Amino acid sequence: MLVFNPHLSNYPEPLNSFQKEVFDFCQLWNSGKDEFLFHTSGSTGKPKSIYLSRISMIESANMTKEWLNLQEGDHVLLCLPIEYIAGAMMLVRALVLKLTVVLIEPCQNPLESIAKPMNIHLASFVTTQWSTILQSNINLFTFFSKVKGILIGGSELTSSLELKTKNIQLPIFQTYGMTETSSHIAFRPISSEAFTYQCLAHVKIKMNDQGCLCINSPSTLNQWIETNDRVELVDKNRFRVLGRKDFVINSGGRKIQPEIIENCCQIFFAKKSFECKLFAWGLDDPFFGQKLVLFIETKVGIDFQSELIQHVKINLNSWEIPKEVIRLPQFIYTNSGKIDRSNTLTLYLNNLKS
């Protein structure tokens, strides 16, 4: 662990490659560099390279400042890779707003590296880190008694993880954003029962003809960008995410949003206190065109598979019932912690052929 002020020019000697990357980024920023290269997570295909302007990143930092009332000298925890936007923007916020960085090399439980109590005002974790932290039963108030925001991103929380998080009396938020928006543009309090995202100030939203979210914000330099997320607009400032347009399954003439099936199944597993990752997918089928299949990551058998299907039958439509449940010992994940659905599927199909 290292605590340092990134807006100063005299950095300590880096002790590992992560510290060097962070210090190099700070030096580039302080030199006035106008554009920075990032890569998307690659959860829906090959990662894309995206250049972001200095101005858009500054605007994003100021949006977060206004949302969480960040003040000069506040401590922010940076424990995410900075080649992705979530980690880089944590550093940019510190540079722009003159915050103090608590730097920990990315790992599954960054809090284990903090030897003594301290006040962290802003932290960001991917869901796998957050799950590991909660499983460790570490006292969060040792570090977050004065926290203004604990941000969870990268992928949606499982139902069981959401239930565990709801009981924690801290400002914990699931955030919505992407590389193109220089990190989050909306948030959802985990303590809320509604799965509705609230836009940050000055963010405008609308839907395109395909029902996908379009965003206009200071961090997009007030230009409209289209996403591949199908949404339901609650009002001009709030929306619900239905799922990815890329993931829609066309089975027997019915268009199925797999995230609906996944959420339903996660609720079932949460009631069973069974922690697992899963995803629904459409496999090629001569009769249905695409056959709805549920993949579950588990190294043990599932004795209540018939109960799971019955749970889906009761809560969803008949065409949303998986035709097959496939257990895999391990999924493939992107560097940002999301399930790499397409490569996991490719591995499964290749194993069938061998």
CATH of the domain at 121: 3.40.50.12780
- Tell me, what's the pLDDT at 309? 94
pLDDT in tens, 230-275: 999 999 999 999 998 988 999 988 989 999 999 999 999 988 888 8
Final residue belonging to a domain, choices 245, 263, 297: 245
Helices and strands of the chain, counted as H and E runs: 9, 19
pLDDT in tens, 7-35: 887 888 999 999 999 999 999 999 999 99
Residue 251 pairs in a beta bridge with 254
Final residue belonging to a domain, choices 245, 276, 302: 245
In sequence order, the 6+-apart residues with CB closer than 8 A to the CB of 275 are: 131, 158, 160, 161, 269
- Tell me, what's the pLDDT at 193? 80
- Tell me, what's the pLDDT at 128? 85
In sequence order, the 6+-apart residues with CB closer than 8 A to the CB of 93 are: 61, 64, 65, 70, 76, 99, 122
* CATH number of the domain to which 261 belongs: 3.30.300.30
Describe the chain by its helix, strand, coil percentages, rounded to 5. 35, 30, 35
**Residue 69 and residue 111 in one domain:** yes
Domain that holds residue 160: 2-245
Number of structural domains, the chain?
2
- Tell me, what's the pLDDT at 205? 98
- Tell me, what's the pLDDT at 46? 63
- Tell me, what's the pLDDT at 335? 73
- How many Cβ atoms from other residues are within 10 Å of residue 279's Cβ? 20
- Tell me, what's the pLDDT at 163? 87
- Tell me, what's the pLDDT at 149? 98
Instruction: Give the global pTM.
Output: 0.85
pLDDT less than 70: residues of the chain: 41-47, 336, 354
Residue 307 pairs in a beta bridge with none
CA distance 70 to 254: 47
